[in-house]
């Protein structure tokens, strides 16, 4: 009987990382002024503004051509790659208040709390908690729509667009892989990402 207990423990220990909570989904920032949608773009995480309490423009962007672009739909978290254990993701965070990129690490404190650590330099860092929200913001909560500009990039509909379409409009992000077909006898349901 002891062999079974040790074997069961070993099996559970190997499965634990695979069953860990996912950072994918919608997150309310600490100040409650915006939501960020984390998406998987070819095994690299990106976080885009999916809702703003007071919609704004990217006025501090270092590229003058982008200063009239809305923040809604733009990438805040960029190119986050997992560590060897899959418990942290490291990349860059864009600060729209000064238009600069900083080193960033994202981890989950629990299923509903994401911790974002941004660093000016390795020892000068700040960690802020974000809270998981159950669903994407509804169109009524999003910025008011203007008449479409045919030359403008596609507007993301965070209620309807799958992550693969969101990835396709993020500059620098690789497209998300298409969901694999369900195995025979499988649930037939796609992997939940939000």
What is the pLDDT tens value at each position of the chain, 194 positions in all?
444 444 433 333 433 444 457 999 999 999 999 999 999 998 999 999 999 999 999 999 999 999 999 999 999 999 999 999 889 999 999 999 999 999 999 999 999 999 999 998 878 999 999 999 986 665 434 444 444 444 445 556 666 666 777 887 787 777 655 555 544 443 333 444 44
Q: Are 178 and 165 in contact (CB under 8 A)?
A: no
Whether 137 maps to a domain, the answer reads yes
Question: Which residues span the domain enclosing 113?
Answer: 20-153
What is the pTM assigned to this prediction? 0.70
Whether 176 maps to a domain, the answer reads no
Q: Token pair 């998987």 is at which residue? A: 40
- Dist. CA 154–CA 162, nearest whole Å: 14
The structural domain count of the chain equals 1
The SS3 call for residue 41 is strand
**What phi and psi values does residue 125 have, to the nearest 5 degrees?**
-130, 160
Closest CA to 82 of 25, 17, 167: 17
């Amino acid at each position: 009987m002891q062999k079974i207990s040790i074997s069961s423990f070993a099996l559970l220990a190997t499965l634990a990382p695979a069953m860990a909570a996912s950072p994918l989904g919608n997150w309310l920032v600490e100040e409650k002024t915006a939501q960020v949608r984390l998406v998987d773009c070819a095994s690299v995480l990106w976080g885009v503004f999916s809702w703003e309490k007071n919609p704004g423009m990217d006025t501090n962007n270092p590229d003058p051509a982008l200063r009239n672009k809305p923040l809604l739909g733009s990438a805040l978290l960029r190119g986050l790659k997992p560590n060897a254990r899959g418990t942290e993701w490291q990349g860059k965070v864009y600060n729209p208040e000064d238009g600069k990129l900083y080193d960033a690490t994202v981890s989950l404190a629990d299923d509903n709390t994401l911790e974002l650590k941004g660093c000016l330099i390795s020892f000068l860092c700040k960690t802020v908690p974000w809270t998981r929200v159950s669903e994407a913001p509804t169109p009524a909560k999003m910025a008011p729509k203007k008449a479409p500009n045919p030359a403008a990039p596609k507007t993301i509909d965070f209620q309807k667009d799958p992550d693969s379409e969101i990835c396709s409009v993020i500059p620098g992000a690789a497209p998300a892989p298409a969901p694999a077909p369900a195995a025979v006898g499988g649930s037939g349901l796609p992997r939940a990402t939000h």
